[in-house]
Amino acid sequence: MAIIVNKEKIFTLNTQNTTYQMYVNEDGVLFHSYYGARVGECDLSYASHKPNWNAAFSSNPRGKGYSHNHTSEELSVFGVGDFRLSALALVNHDGTTGAEPVYHSYKILKGKYQIKGMPAFYGDEGETLVITLKDKAYDIYFHMYYGVFEENDLITRALVIENKTNSEIKLNKALSVTLDLQGGTYDMLHFYGAHMRERLLERTRITHLTSTVSSVRGASSHTQNPFVIVCDKSATEEFGSAYGIGLVYSGNFVICAEKDQHETTRVVAGINPEGFEYTVAPNETFETPEVAMVYSNEGFAKLSNNYHKAIRNNLCRGKYKNARRPVLINNWEGTYFDFNADKLVAMAKDAGKLGVELFVMDDGWFGHRDDDRSSLGDWFVNEEKLQGSLDNLVKRINAEGLQFGIWFEPECISEDSELFKAHPDYRLAIPNRDPQLSRHQFVLDMTRKEVRDNIYDQMVEVLNSANITYVKWDFNRHLTDIYSAALPKERQGEIYHRYMLGVYELLERLTSNFPNILFESCSGGGGRFDLGMLYYMPQAWTSDNTDAIDRLKIQYGTSFAYPVRAMGAHVSVCPNHGNARVTPLNTRGNVAYFGTYGLELDITKMTDEEKAEIKRQIAEFKEYYDLIQYGDYYRLLSPYTPDESRYCAWEVVSEDKSEALVCTVAYDSKCTVQPELLKVKGLDQNKMYRINGSEETYLGSALMNIGFWLEYDHLSYASRLYHITLA
């Protein structure tokens, strides 16, 4: 059984390789005992903090007591004696603060719980434990949700706060998880960046100072990602303990970690309390976003692959959850705003001859938009620019053998637009202040149903007007001017979260009503690449930076949590439009293979030799598609350690270990360089293998412990693929 409850009110969650345990003490407080490698069925409460009298404490009628500040409580509350990081801060109707949750009841549900209006992992194979706590003084209930997926060592958590009093309460902080790790020295891996350089890996020591990963941009953002790994100081790809903590949410978030005065490391995660204040009316509830946790005592690779499988099978939904994605060409870097129907059809015609399956028309097809200064919000076709109707263009593209996709930016509005002229109040704007333009656009108030309905109706009309099979959903700026004309002054602190709920509601309607359309998320590139968006759209544009060498670090960092098939990756022209670097076309293709693979260029301007190479790449990508998209993923050589190797390398291995594909990219050129041995992972140590069909055979254990010699190419930024098969 995944969930075990004994008569002493000890709650044990077991996955294939991990155990998570809690218990209720004699005062009714829910304490955390243990989270780590799987252990036998036993009481682990001895491992949790013991009562201590040298700080603020709570006492019961029997005269016994404990210090909130010295214990590991599953729900940490601000204002009642725990001075460390907390998950909950609230104000009661009478102005008093704090809460003292004590045990009330529990229930076990078959299948995985869902959260109203928000994304979450799902699956009948999961189990749910709900532990309900009640405040000692008020009729406020805290429903602690735990979802267990045994196969992938995934445990999810969420908190539902229910107000059964006769008055409103206010939440100043409502995080989803508190996790205490006893003793030890831990590091945190987080993934920082900016536009064009998202999810770069940084590893820092968790000390007695607070480490914070967060966003207040209204989106999960380019600058930080709502996913971290807390690990032993010596943990590596293959060894050591590692805890993954990923928030299934796309708005303002915070993940904090600190080592307290008793050498316990505490981690909290959830909605960022900055700018957050939420009113919960009588008989209403507030649901926090889900946190997805994976523990591995076999290092980062095991943790990553468990996330990858769970995301593919229990987070992504719809037709394209496991179906093969089409190879696409996007016209953006090929034409920007300068195109017409004839130009697009010419691109599609050449692309179809090379094996491309989907043509995507990016920004500039609507309103009177010939640059980024107008027309957002006017989702009607510029028939003059397209030389006729959208349906006519799509039919011309389809006649070349390609599907058709289209770009939207539904959350934003241009001042120069028909929608703004009719409804200037639809944007987020603070009264009596000049609103802030970013990329010449404002953000729509997605908290309002009438705004969402307007955008939905416009999008539906476009999507129903032609044979459209793909939508790229973009969001090119962040939230400022946080004020909604639809909310009273005392509820303006709800805007950030209500905004995200509104976006989710719109996405749910569209993806449900157009189940055969492949939706791809984009936010100025990788500015909203998170678990929440993958619930609605199974792939995301990884970065606006299409340079293959910069992509090594971007895709390397992204791979710690997110699977290959979620990463939008395209071949673009050289010199690269972002950094002017020149890389071999073969290298650009190899890097893009380990994503969704597509093209981002004007194919009509390519030479015959380049077109032949693209045709070869598409055929090769399709040949390796299942192995790349569904195999176990291993990071072999890091782009962050140039002193160890001149290569970056990664590998995918089939589930039955019968084949593997290794990609190497030389990101540094050196004279008189010595050949290098590359160790691989994930093979059957007792079986014999060949590399690229050669006559020479290698024992699996030899390839994993000694490696094989890489072939040297006297070429800047050279790349090779090594296909390893059973002999």
What are the catalytic residues? 530, 610
- What whole-number distance in Å separates Cα of residue 700 and Cα of residue 308? 24
Contacts of 486 by beta carbon, 8 Å cutoff, 6+ apart? 445, 447, 448
Structure tokens at 406: 């289209």
Say which amino acid occupies 123: G
> CB within 8 A of 46, min separation 6: which ones?
none
> Beta-carbon neighbour count of residue 670 at 10 Å?
8
Compute CA distances 457 → 118, 461, 518, 535, whole Å.
22, 6, 19, 22
Over the range 358-377, which residues count as b (16 or more CB within 10 Å of their CB) and which as e? bbbbbbbbbbebeebebbbb
Burial of 488 (C-beta count, 10 Å sphere; 0-12/13-18/19+): exposed
User: Is there a contact between 571 and 601 (Cβ–Cβ < 8 Å)?
Assistant: yes
Residues 201/557, Cβ–Cβ less than 8 Å? yes
* 617: Cβ contacts below 8 Å, ≥ 6 apart: 571, 586, 589, 593, 597
CA quadruple 59, 65, 68, 69: dihedral sign: positive
Strand partners, 254: 214, 270
Q: Which residues pair with 599 in a beta bridge?
A: 329, 571
Instruction: Round to whole Å and give the CA distance between 381 and 591.
Output: 35
Q: Are 614 and 571 in contact (CB under 8 A)?
A: yes
The residues that bridge with 647 in the sheet, in sequence order, are 666
Name the amino acid, one letter, at 71. Answer: T
Residue type for position 644: E
Greatest Cα-to-Cα distance within the chain, rounded to the nearest angstrom: 87
Query: Residue 7 to residues 43, 62, 623, 626: CA-CA distances in angstroms?
Result: 12, 22, 56, 48
Helix axes 341-354, 608-630, angle to 10 degrees: 70
Q: Coil, strand or helix: which one is 148? A: strand
Alpha-carbon distance values, 445 to 54, 185, 376, 396, 497 (Å) = 50, 44, 14, 37, 12
The token duo for 77 is 């509350």
Residue (of 671, 675, 680, 670) closest to 721 by Cα position? 680
What are the backbone angles phi and psi of residue 229, rounded to the nearest 5°? -120, 125
SS3 533: helix
E-strand spans in 364-411? 403-408
Contact 119/248 with Cβ under 8 angstroms?
Answer: yes
Q: Identify residue 560 by its one-letter amino acid code.
A: F
* Cα end-to-end span (Å), the chain: 41
Cis peptide before 563 (omega within 30 of 0): no
Round to whole Å and give the CA distance between 440 and 78: 41
- As a 3-state breakdown, the chain gives helix, strand, coil percent values, each rounded to 5, of 20, 35, 45
DSSP letters for 544-602 = S---HHHHHHHHHHHTTTS-GGGEE-EEE-SS-TTT-----HHHHHHHHHTTT-EEES-
